Chain A
Amino acid sequence: MKKFFILIILTLFSQNIFADENLDKKAREINKKIRCVVCQSQSIDDSDSILARDLRILIKEKLKEGKNEKEITDYLVERYGEFILLKPRFNSKTYFLWLAPIIILLFGFFLIKGVFKKN
Chain B
Amino acid sequence: MRYTGLIIITAFIFVCLFFGLNKEDQTLKSAFLNKPIPEINLNSLKKDKLDQSDFKNEIILVNFFASWCVPCIVEHDFLFELKKQKPIKIYGINYKDNIKNLEIWLEKLGNPYSKIGIDKTGITGINWGVNGIPESFLIDQNGIIKHKVTGVINEKQIKILLTKIESLEK
Whether both chains belong to one complex is answered with yes
- Which residue of chain B has its CB nearest to the CB of A83? B28
The interface residues of chain B, by DSSP majority, are classed as loop
Tell me the bound Cα distance from A79 to B38 in angstroms: 9
Query: Judging by beta carbons under 8 Å apart, are B96 and A79 in contact?
Result: no
Residues of A within 8 A of B162 (CB): none
Any A CB within 8 A of the CB of B127:
yes
Residues of A within 8 A of B32 (CB): 79
**Most chain B CB inside 10 Å of its own CB: which residue of A78, A79, A81:** A79
Any B CB within 8 A of the CB of A80:
yes
Least Cβ–Cβ distance between A72 and chain B, in angstroms: 12
- Which residue of chain B has its CB nearest to the CB of A54? B122
Tell me the bound Cα distance from A50 to B66 in angstroms: 13
Any B CB within 8 A of the CB of A37:
yes
Residues of chain A touching chain B, judged by Cβ–Cβ distance below 8 Å, are 37-38, 50-51, 54-55, 58, 77-81, 83, 107, 111, 118
A-B contact pairs, 29 of them (CB 8 A): A37-B28, A38-B131, A38-B132, A50-B122, A51-B122, A51-B125, A51-B131, A51-B132, A54-B121, A54-B122, A54-B123, A54-B126, A55-B126, A78-B31, A79-B31, A79-B32, A79-B38, A79-B126, A79-B129, A80-B28, A80-B31, A80-B129, A81-B29, A81-B31, A81-B129, A83-B28, A107-B9, A111-B6, A118-B2
